[in-house]
Amino acid sequence: METPLFPRESGQFIAERSRDVFVEDDGVQKVAEMLYALRHSDDLTASGWKKANPLAPPPTSDQALNWVFVVDTMNFSFWPEKETQQCEVTFKGTTYTGYMTLCAAITRAMEEGIPITNPKYFSQMSVEELGHILRSDNETPMPMLHERHQVLTEGGRVLLEHGGSFRSFVSQAGNNARKMVELIVEKIPSYRDEAVYEGKRISFYKRAQILVADFWGIMEARGQGDILNMDWLTMFADYRVPQALVYLGVLRYSDTLMQALKKGELLGSGDQREVEIRGCSIWSVELIKDRLCKLVQERDGQTCIVNSAVIDFYLWPYAKQHHKEMAHIPIHHTRCIYY
């Protein structure tokens, strides 16, 4: 079996052949200018990660790395069947929806004394135990409980085979972001986010790349963030950032795709349109990064240190903050364990 193209090459391959999703040069320039104006702010650094996720344990704590492993292993498919029926988790007086329900539920479990960040525990926990940990405040449960249980126990068993912690597992890849992604994808099946497009095997590796970026965010906060090859990571192709890219004029959907999404059509994982949305998102952020670095070089005479992961760390909260203005742009719906 041929090896899949890596995410960046996959994005380019898809964008050059895409029939329903298009990358718009004017939008790429606009967002590059927007990010250029923010180039000195915390929004475009790894420390923006902690600000975006106040529910994570302090980065200096031993639990922080296993916490991101648990969360990133189950980081998929939070969209509700009906907008009015959102899963909600309240923690310390704040009610969360979407991805943040998972973060709140895991941190709540830790406060309740459940050893949810210990692979010995989560590698053999029951579906009922996980259901209790992920319990919702209302009638709407978090989707895909059985799949979350399957991937978390599987991930825990892999950690136990490799030193018993995420830190010991990932250290086998040295300090190299690309090798970390390759290791995660090789050893943990649920992270193999791949598809076939126009006869070519391609990959997105959304959760594997987020896991490495979160690891980097924690190490950076500890003053140990000198991880090689961070620039190899792409954006994390999900359903929230593409909506922001359409809103900002970076991506354009064909009329037929826009109509299908507005009707609420479910796209299967690996569907041509779903692959194009994700692939063009990856490639457009690569173009934004290149354009931004060109602006920094031309105007400031400096080398640009912004990578695609940091741009994603900015775009994802941006999408959350502007969700009302973006409500007319449909997100695509795909129920799967990859995002």
Would you write out the chain's pLDDT as a tens digit for each of its 339 residues? 789 999 999 999 999 999 999 999 999 999 999 999 999 888 787 666 556 678 999 988 879 999 999 999 999 999 998 878 899 999 999 999 999 999 999 999 999 999 999 999 999 999 999 999 999 999 999 999 999 999 999 999 999 999 999 999 999 999 999 999 999 999 999 999 999 999 999 999 999 999 999 999 899 888 888 899 999 999 999 999 999 999 999 999 999 999 999 999 999 999 999 999 999 999 999 999 999 999 999 999 999 989 999 999 899 889 989 999 999 999 999 999 999
- The SS3 call for residue 85 is coil
Catalytically annotated residue among 72, 193, 214, 238: 238
Count of other CB atoms within 10 angstroms of residue 328: 8
Element (H, E) at 210: helix 206-221
Predicted TM-score (pTM) of this structure: 0.94
Instruction: Say how many residues make up the chain.
Output: 339
Task: Let me know if 268 is exposed, middle or buried by CB neighbors in 10 A (0-12, 13-18, 19+).
Answer: exposed
Q: What is the DSSP annotation of 122-159?
A: HTS--HHHHHHHT--SSS-PPS-HHHHHHHHHHHHHHH
- The SS3 call for residue 46 is coil
169: amino acid identity, one letter: F
Residue 194 sits at φ, ψ, to 5 deg, of -130, 160
Rg (CA), the chain: 19
231: amino acid identity, one letter: D
* 238 catalytically annotated: yes
User: What is the reported pLDDT for 52?
Assistant: 61
User: What is the reported pLDDT for 42?
Assistant: 81
190: amino acid identity, one letter: S
Kindly state the tokens that stand for 78. Answer: 């939070």
Distance CA 58, CA 133 (A): 21
User: What is the reported pLDDT for 50?
Assistant: 57
How many Å separate Cα 312 from the centre of its chain? Answer: 8
